[in-house]
Amino acid sequence: MLQLADTLTRTVRPVRIPEPGQPVTMYSCGPTVYRYAHVGNLRTFLMPDLIRRALLYHGMAVRQVQNITDVGHLRDERFDRGDDPMLVAAGLEDKTPGQIADAYEAAFHADAAVMNLLPAHVYPRATEHIPEMLALAERLEDLGHAYRTEAGNVYFAVSTWPGYGRLSGNTLDALRAGHRGEVEGDKRDPADFALWKAAGEGRLLKWPSRWGDGFPGWHLECSAMAMRHLGDRFDIHTGGEDNVFPHHEDEIAQSGPIVGGPPADLWIHGAFLMTSGRKMAKSAGNFQRVTELADDGIEALAFRYLCLTARYSRRLDYSEESLAAAATALTALRSRLRALGPAADNGPWAAPAVLAAGRAADRPTGSAAGVRGHALPDGQAEPVVVDRAGSPAAPLSPAGRELHERFVAAIDDDLDMPTAVATIHATLRADLPADERRWLVLDADAVLGLDLHRVWQPQPPAAVFEPRVDALLAERAQARAGRDWERADEIRERLRALGMEPVDLADGTTELRLIDPSKGG
């Protein structure tokens, strides 16, 4: 069974096996949509995608919730001039916070699609869950875990939660000693954190509450939305290593008194993507978008392959050299697979079912059903959840079964993807019939997510630019301006049928890009 490194217990633990008919539940900290996501962010988001694919490979359904922070991190920590980053972006780009959020959320979903990340089943947005955040903060105050100050701020009293610091390994004494800089003067304890902040004069993003107009603290967001969409207790919580403290530590503290302990069973954290020895970050200015790789002749799936060459819990070097090496290795893998010839349409060695990620809409709403979450219709069959790990569908030979078991053991060992990928290369070199080698590799790709089934697809005809394209673009722009997302998505699909992908830029314009035929559209 899949085992993962749990930050809370410092042990590698198995994922809980759900009751029959119930899914494994997972909450993934998502993007703050005031700038483009960079490849470092996408490496973090790849981690829950691999967890989800591995669980599906074991025949377990998964329900994933990934939040969209659409008003910046509503936090008491300072950002540049002390402003909410969403407000900063809105001012710089001369747009409303809502327009900024819509543009960058659409870009996030497009970037996730080219990385083959399975869309979540729910994408809750912070602005749409203020009532849930207020209700949680009010309950904590009523229970004596939070207090209001004369300044109108509401803080969580960390001394009331005995387990505070367990996730991060911090102690309250160390945290208090570490507050050498300026601390909010109305706090009772320097380690306390904000649940609700009073709105300053002229603040644009604010909401009424029983404490007056204000805005929620950053950490309150995820606790409230996880409770709303997954219930009081769920199985897995994912995020980057920078989320361990204070974000996830504070989530546990503010949820614990309500749900009776940490809300998630497993707390899984991905390590940073490093470039020139530094963490890739927007604030450092050393980031790159996944869409920019094409300018250097590198496809996005080469970056996915690069991520598979290191465990998610270990920092990964990102450079021109490492990316080029990954692209070369992926090309070699595809070439060896293509040389085996395509699979028969039927019979014991017919190609195994494909787990195609698909693309989410620009602004998904509601709760999606099915294996692929909010993936838009794309002609792909809905995958059936079966135990591919324990009961392979093909008549494998003893040697083939041994390779299959090596692959399963690798992914179950805390997602040891480097070993899993090495096993795939070994499979292609193995002294086995071509049918068996092909089947093993394609079956494993349900976890790897490298779209290996496309290597035999014929090249579609060149894209046709018809006169009505300009009209379609204008109609889609009008639909987006009117927030008619269903119509905008419908027009997107019409443009895709013409071989063009509309990419919405943050400045409000739309750029048309030819669909890469090697990706099958």
pLDDT digits (tens, 9 = 90+) for 393-432: 999 999 999 999 999 999 999 999 999 999 999 999 999 9
Distance, CA of 497 to CA of 62 (rounded, Å):
31
Mean pLDDT along residues 79-105: 65
pLDDT of residue 82: 45
Q: Is 50 exceeded by the pLDDT of residue 74?
A: no
Can you list the positions of beta strands (E) in 165-302? 193-198, 214-216, 234-240, 264-270, 273-275, 278-279
pLDDT at 518: 39
Report whether pLDDT(245) > 50. Answer: yes
Alpha carbon distance 407, 378 (integer Å): 29
Q: Return the CATH class of domain 275-352+394-456.
A: mainly alpha
- Quick check: 463 pLDDT over 50? no
The half-sphere exposure of 370 on its side-chain side, counting CA atoms within 13 A, is 17
Of 175-179, 293-297, 356-360, 516-520, least confident by mean pLDDT is 516-520
- CATH superfamily to which 3-270 belongs: HUPs (3.40.50.620)
Read off the pLDDT band of 263 (50, 70, 90): very high
Would you place residue 179 in the very low, low, confident or very high pLDDT band (cuts 50, 70, 90)?
low
Q: Quote the pLDDT of residue 171.
A: 87
Q: What is the mean pLDDT of residues 337-346?
A: 94
Q: Which two tokens stand for residue 365?
A: 């709403």
Q: What pLDDT shows up at residue 467? A: 38
pLDDT in tens, 309-320: 999 999 999 988
In the chain, domain spans: 3-270, 275-352+394-456, 468-519
**What is the spatial distance between Cα 184 and Cα 190, in angstroms, rounded to a whole number?**
8
Distance CA(58)–CA(385), nearest Å, equals 8
pLDDT at 277: 76
Task: Report the pLDDT value the prediction gives residue 176, as an integer from 0 to 100.
Answer: 74
Strand partners, 125: 68
User: Which pLDDT value is given to residue 100?
Assistant: 85
Q: What local confidence, expressed as pLDDT, does residue 93 receive?
A: 61
Q: 402 is written with which tokens?
A: 């041994």
Residue 78 pLDDT exceeds 70: no
| Mean predicted confidence (pLDDT) in 458-487 | 66
Q: Nearest CA to 109 among 26, 33, 218?
A: 33
Whether the ω angle into residue 162 lies within 30 degrees of 0, i.e. cis, is no
Pinpoint the alpha helices (H) of 387-461. 398-412, 417-429, 434-448
Residue 27: count of CB within 10 angstroms of its CB:
30
Q: Where are the beta strands (DSSP E) in 323-421?
A: none
DSSP state of 393: S
Residue 200: count other Cβ atoms within 10 Å of its Cβ.
11
111 band by pLDDT with thresholds 50, 70 and 90: very high
| pLDDT: which is higher, 66 or 93 | 66
Q: Which of 414, 410, 407, 420 is nearest to 308 (CA)?
A: 420
pLDDT at 494: 75
Nearest Cα neighbor of 143 from 256, 52, 230 is 256
154-169 residue pLDDT tens: 999 999 999 999 999 9
pLDDT at 200: 79
Taking the C-alpha atoms of residue 113 and residue 111, their distance in angstroms, rounded to an integer, is 5
Distance CA 442, CA 437 (A): 9
Distance (Å, rounded) from C-alpha 88 to C-alpha 103?
15
Give me the percent of the chain exceeding a pLDDT of 90.
Answer: 65
Higher-pLDDT residue of 375, 275: 375
Residue 124: predicted pLDDT: 97
Evaluate if residue 184 carries a pLDDT over 90.
no
In the chain, the amino acid numbered 97 is P
Mean pLDDT calculated for residue range 300-307:
95
SS3 of 271-338: CCEEECCEECCCCCCCCCCHHHHHHHCCCHHHHHHHHHCCCCCCCEECCHHHHHHHHHHHHHHHHHHH
- Strands 3-6, 146-148: pairing is unpaired
* 131-144 exposure pattern, b = at least 16 Cβ within 10 A, e = fewer: ebbbebbbebbeee
Cα separation of 441 and 473, whole Å?
Answer: 40
Q: Which residue has the tokens 């707390």?
A: 267
* Amino acid (one-letter) located at 249: E
Residue 306's pLDDT is 96
The pLDDT of residue 286 is 66
Calpha distance 57→446 (Å, rounded): 7
Nearest to 235 by CA among 93, 365, 62: 62
Cis peptide before 398 (omega within 30 of 0): no
Return the higher-pLDDT residue of 460 and 450: 450
Residue 183 confidence class, pLDDT cut points 50, 70, 90: low
Q: How many residues does the structure list for the chain?
A: 521
pLDDT at 62 over 80: yes
365 phi-psi bin (left φ>0, alpha ψ -120 to 50, beta other):
beta
pLDDT digits (tens, 9 = 90+) for 3-16: 999 999 999 999 99
Distance between CA atoms of residues 361 and 358, nearest Å: 10
Reported in sequence order, the residue ranges of 61-127 that DSSP labels E, i.e. its strands, are 62-66
Q: In this model, does residue 506 exceed pLDDT 50?
A: yes
The pTM of the whole model exceeds 0.95: no
The DSSP symbol for 367 reads: B
